Amino acid sequence: MTLVYIIGFLAQIFFSARILIQWILSERAKEIVSPAIFWILSIAGSYLLFIYGWCRDDFSIILGQVFSYYIYIWNLNAKGIWKKIHLIFRLILVLTPIVACPFLLHDPAAFFDQFFRNEDVPLWLLIFGSAGQIIFTLRFVYQWFYSYRRHVSTLPVGFWIISLTGSAIIVSYGIFRLDPVLILGQSVGFIAYTRNIILGLRNNKEKQSITPKQS
């Protein structure tokens, strides 16, 4: 179990580092920025947290990582980073979830018992935790859709609002599960999420006040 927690904490370190770096760079720029290092740390943390969720028999954690995983890769590609990664590592990153899912689902009955009848995670708590992960994951679906339409990788205000909402639910879930990895990992982002919302709203307001004058 010690090794499992090490993997989980290492994943959260990557996630916390991405938020801290993005926050610092945004403060310097006085606007929300989407640095390449944010997406590099994202894919590294997601890969490890996927393994952590598997080891913990925690379906909500796995669910949260599978959907955002490939959005990280899309953003790396949009930043021009993806093709710079060695082909072998790109194949490993792309294929790992694809290979893991059939093993996860090879025995549907066992899968159902393992994740949905886990004595350590009551069904209501699993639904609550999964809801938090779904909301937290939707922030990247929203980010991808927003960026795709503008042909650039960016982190809009809506991304941070969804982040704050999902994070609050996941922290509550972590408290119920007595999971220090989830509690510490998610709590770190609260200030950064809030600050990015303030920066984004301020910049949007400034742009709206400037536009009429220019016209």
Contact 108/128 with Cβ under 8 angstroms? no
Q: Averaged over 94-115, what is the pLDDT?
A: 66
Distance CA 69, CA 61 (A): 12
Q: Which residues of 112-135 are buried (b: 16+ CB within 10 A; e: fewer)?
A: eeebeebeebeeebbebbbebbbb
Contact 163/195 with Cβ under 8 angstroms? no
Phi, psi (deg, nearest 5) at residue 80? 80, 15
Burial class (CB in 10 A: 0-12, 13-18, 19+), 103: exposed
End-to-end CA distance of the chain: 63
Looking at the predicted structure, is the pLDDT value of residue 43 above 70?
Answer: yes
| Stated pTM of the model | 0.77
Range among 20-34, 62-76, 105-119, 199-213 rated most confident: 20-34
Contact 65/7 with Cβ under 8 angstroms? no
| Amino acid (one-letter) located at 63 | L
Higher pLDDT, 27 or 122: 27
Distance CA 26, CA 11 (A): 23
pLDDT tens, position by position, 204-215: 888 777 765 554
Q: For position 67, what pLDDT does the model report?
A: 73
Higher pLDDT, 40 or 191: 40
Residue with tokens 């010690």: 2
pLDDT tens, position by position, 138-175: 899 999 999 999 999 999 999 999 999 988 888 888 88
Report percent pLDDT > 70 for the chain.
84
